[in-house]
Structure 1
């Protein structure tokens, strides 16, 4: 797996990630969601440089101009529910893309909070055969959600190219995903933290992105 860690070169992206982490700013849910969306737009711009382009002649009221325009047939797939604002950010730029949504969440068992499996209950997806799949998950913690989602998508066809998009990832989770996916899969990520805590949350991370964006949920 190829990794593009956008934090390796300072940019305005650092501002938005810092605000996502800041416990005083996190109280503003609208700002939290908007920052995720803006990060999605920034990553989308960087990702777009890797796509395939073809010259097109464009007519204006005063003449014509040849421009290189993207040719990839894109499908955006997001993991609910924290993935919604990130999905919106990507969709703001890839507005002609088809869309897929999947509910992949941690289902805890009775042996403890850290004992869980990833449960997939809902999936809506177009045909992926020969498409460019962009799979978005804001927090790449253990990596199990991304792997479970890729497995669930297999029945919809084989994509020509797979891009993974995350805001914050943990090294153990990235290593786990890297062992599963092929070497030509590309991960676009805002920044990488070193570790997971005993509950498999990213440290320092930012907490539960879904709860911060949409409110706390009852554990079942």
Structure 2
């Protein structure tokens, strides 16, 4: 797996990471969603540099111009519900892409133990396409791994790119063995630790709750 940690270089991305982490800013739900969306746009721009392009001719009112245009057949898949703002950011840059959605959530067995439950998939055929799998929080990595496994029932993509906002070292290391070797991970920043409940530390809290409000726990 190729890992691209964008926080290793200073850019405006740092401002957005600060705002989604800081409790004095993140509780503005609209701003939180917009910042996640903007991070998705930055990840998409950097990821686009690795896609395939072909030459096309564009006619202008005054003549014509030959330029390179993305030729990959792209499918964007987000993990509900926390993935929706990030999905929107990616879709802003790949507006002609097909879209897929999958539910993967933690079913808590007790205060510390949980299992990942996948209940819903809506996806086009994936055979030969470039799959962009978007999920803001890469904690244990188990939900991403199960999501990819479930999506394979809709075909085998040609290439896989994972786009995430905040990860933990443990989650990044876990998914290395769950995806094809040529998979690319594009991530805004990576934290060192998980707590005993499997949440990223310092992280930012629950991305789904911050974007859309609290929910009843399973």
Moved over 2 A (4+): none
CA–CA distance in structure 2, aligned partners of residues 163 and 50 of structure 1: 10
1:69 aligns with 2:69: yes
CA–CA distance in structure 1, aligned partners of residues 107 and 19 of structure 2: 29
Partner of 1:188: 186
Deviations 1:147-201 (A, max 9, x none): 0101101111110000001000000011010021121000000000001011111
1:101 deviates by 0.2
| SS of residue matched to 2:41 | helix
1:218 aligns with 2:216: yes
| SS of residue matched to 1:25 | helix
CA–CA distance in structure 2, aligned partners of residues 66 and 75 of structure 1: 26
| SS of residue matched to 1:135 | strand
1:114 deviates by 1.9
CA–CA distance in structure 2, aligned partners of residues 54 and 113 of structure 1: 52
CA–CA distance in structure 2, aligned partners of residues 193 and 70 of structure 1: 33
Structure 2: runs of 5+ lacking an equivalent: none
CA–CA distance in structure 2, aligned partners of residues 145 and 90 of structure 1: 20
Structure 1: runs of 5+ lacking an equivalent: none
User: What value does the CA root-mean-square deviation take over the aligned residues?
Assistant: 0.6
1:206 deviates by 0.2
Partner of 2:108: 108
Partner of 2:87: 87
Partner of 1:39: 39
Give the TM-score of the pair, scaled to structure 1.
Answer: 0.98
Deviations 1:42-100 (A, max 9, x none): 00000000000001110100011101000000000000001000000000010000000
Pairing 1:134-213 to 2, within 5 Å after superposition: 134-213=132-211
Number of aligned pairs? 218
